[in-house]
Amino acid sequence: MELLKIDCLGKQLRLEGSMAGWQQLFWDRQLVSQLSATAEDASVRAHQFELLAKSEADALTGMPLPDESCDSGQLLNVKLETELQWQPFVLKYRLFVNNELHSAGERNTKDIERQQPELAPAKPTQQSWLGLASLGFKLFKSAKVIKVVLAGASVAAYSWLFSLQFALALLACLVFHEYGHIRAMKYFGMKTKGIYLIPFLGGLALSDEKINTRWQDVVISIMGPTFGLLLSIACLLAYWLTGNIFFAGLATFNALLNLFNLLPVLPLDGGHILKSISFSMNSIAGLVGTVAGALLGVYVSYSLGLALFGFLLLVGSLEIVFEWRGRHQSHLLPLDRYGQLFSAIWYLLTVGSLIGIIWYFASSGDDILALPLKILQS
């Protein structure tokens, strides 16, 4: 992940690193220093490299180049000292040029969230029919007309399967769910491309920007089901006030829709949430806690008769555990312990509330309202 990006003699100095311990330092997109993982105190690291300025004026105007074999010119010794703490994330740095302090500062989690990922240099590509077709698809996808076409296809598909009234209600649930993701993206200052409704697959909230932290991944992922929970609660209140069975059906089926989204299976929202929590745990004790929590969830699910939910919970949890060893290679800044605890509580409360709504309507005696619970028990 990108840890630091500062100015150095008129060029960009960028530090990349991971929790595994390796670090790479780039000056004007050229690799100038590299440190591998070490068993020693890895919090304090120092990068050193040399720059060659053809004259003293070049050094003052930011024109030095990485050291090359040359008999003339002024040699500049550059040193970057960093002190890194991962949880909570704090990076302190000092930049020296010829043993004189050039700049110093500190970065935290908020700085990582706001940074824009470094874009790779554009590579010239040859024109081909495949490239032109890909460009045409991107232009078509970015047009507003595709949203209308997909929405119309979704209404037609769900109306064919169920009824027009149910199709419109289902699309409203999907849009409200995806709007939760959009609101979270905008909270982090990300530019969004809107909501796409895909027949038989649900909805998709898109953004052109990449996330930098696992906290962003958790919040963006869980805000969809959270908005879905709020909609089910609103429908529950409407049912209590009016007695209209339509609001009861909308509340329970919307709860089922959002509950499945919280299963720990990628690319579902729950998969992103639990993966971010477990991958932020940098110890065997954290992994043991994750496994114990997953097994407890499976046990509770089967105890309550939710066989399908328990089975999918087990499969998704095993997938995350098997991938746990590769957590250090991720470019995402991990959650601190407070973030892990808060995210887990938020996730469990949302899951429990959705199951509670499904259980409440299933106890009403209506066969249709009991269908979501029967699906979970199948």
Distance CA 342, CA 348 (A): 10
Phi, psi of 71 (to 5 degrees): -85, -15
Which of 80-89, 117-126, 151-160, 320-329 ranks highest by mean pLDDT? 80-89
Instruction: Show me where the domains of the chain are located.
Output: 2-112, 134-173+187-210, 213-377
Q: Residue 146's pLDDT band (boundaries 50, 70, 90)?
A: low
Burial class (CB in 10 A: 0-12, 13-18, 19+), 247: buried
Q: What is the DSSP letter of 331?
A: S
Distance CA 299, CA 327 (A): 27
- Give the rounded distance of the alpha carbon of 29 from its chain centre: 26
Report pLDDT digits (tens) over 277-307.
887 876 666 667 667 777 777 777 777 676 7
Which residue, 39, 29, 23, 27, is CA-closest to 84? 23
To the question of pTM greater than 0.95 for the whole model, the response is: no
Average pLDDT in the 202-206 region?
A: 70
